[in-house]
Structure 1
């Protein structure tokens, strides 16, 4: 697996990953309905994608997106982080967080805020984020409170 800077052409694949995430089925579906990770978003933010190289005929196999994240610099926030349903449980999320912390460090950021999808709170805590509060529901799109966490970026 390789983590590389997302390119404008990745927008469609990232959008599909978000919209197809099982974590957003049922009561959480309104969060990703119509969501789009467009080229403008990719250009404006630090978006990184985890890809697996696919074997193909004569080396032209391409790649498969297995996850991505978006780091906002001002203010410092992990805006998006997704791992494909098929790739969960293999440490990809942990590697994306480590990469994000490295990016934050190189940008001179000392803390990164995360407003988490409620089922993802345990994951963020397991990779070093600490709970600092809760963000109240904001209907109609977000009808539930969300945990607010923070990563402290070390040296």
Structure 2
């Protein structure tokens, strides 16, 4: 169901490389920590991730991939979860310390490869409002708005489609 692919970037843009691998059950606590400690979900967005848990069962049931540094002892820098039916990016987080290094773009490139292997032509993305600009920058097109669903989600969210072909 996917392989370990190494995506390399220009050294001047950050770390020499990042390996993207299939997440495993033992990653659950690290992935949960990325979600619950994300600065993007502070303030009014905090209720969305309060008590959120990425469990081993979720990791085993979905196509979850983690970006990890190539060096020994490197931690998880970010991750995404792809749901194949119906096609949707369920989760995508990049650690606060890894923001701005191109990790998100590497995850999107991997997502596109994985979606193509699954025979998908596009993937639905319901974005955290502050992340809309990022998704648009990688080629997602706005298709609508998903209405708030209190009490956890108190704001409307942009709904987009990400083509899995070339951006």
Q: Same fold by TM (over 0.5)?
A: yes
Q: 1:39 aligns with which of 53, 56, 61?
A: 56
Unmatched 5+ residue regions in structure 1? 56-61
d(CA) in 1 for partners of 2:162, 2:135: 9
8 A contact 1:132–1:150 mirrored in 2: yes
Q: 2:101 aligns with which of 90, 96, 103?
A: 90
Which residue of structure 1 aligns with residue 134 of structure 2? 123
The TM-score, its normalising length taken from structure 2, stands at 0.87
Which residue of structure 2 aligns with residue 113 of structure 1? 124
Residue 92 of structure 1, CA deviation: 0.5
**SS at the partner of 2:133?**
helix
d(CA) in 1 for partners of 2:102, 2:165: 21
d(CA) in 2 for partners of 1:54, 1:84: 17
d(CA) in 2 for partners of 1:124, 1:21: 17
Q: What is the root-mean-square deviation in Å for CA atoms of aligned residues?
A: 1.0
Mapped pair 1:4 → 2:21? yes
Residue 142 of structure 1, CA deviation: 0.6
8 A contact 1:54–1:64 mirrored in 2: no
Q: 1:68 aligns with which of 66, 74, 79?
A: 79
d(CA) in 1 for partners of 2:150, 2:24: 32
Deviation track 1:1-47 (CA, whole Å, cap 9, x = no partner) reads 11000000000000001000000000000000000000000000000
Q: Which runs of 4+ in 1 moved over 3 A?
A: none
d(CA) in 1 for partners of 2:71, 2:42: 29
Unmatched 5+ residue regions in structure 2? 1-17
Matched length? 149
Residue 54 of structure 1, CA deviation: 4.1
The TM-score, its normalising length taken from structure 1, stands at 0.94
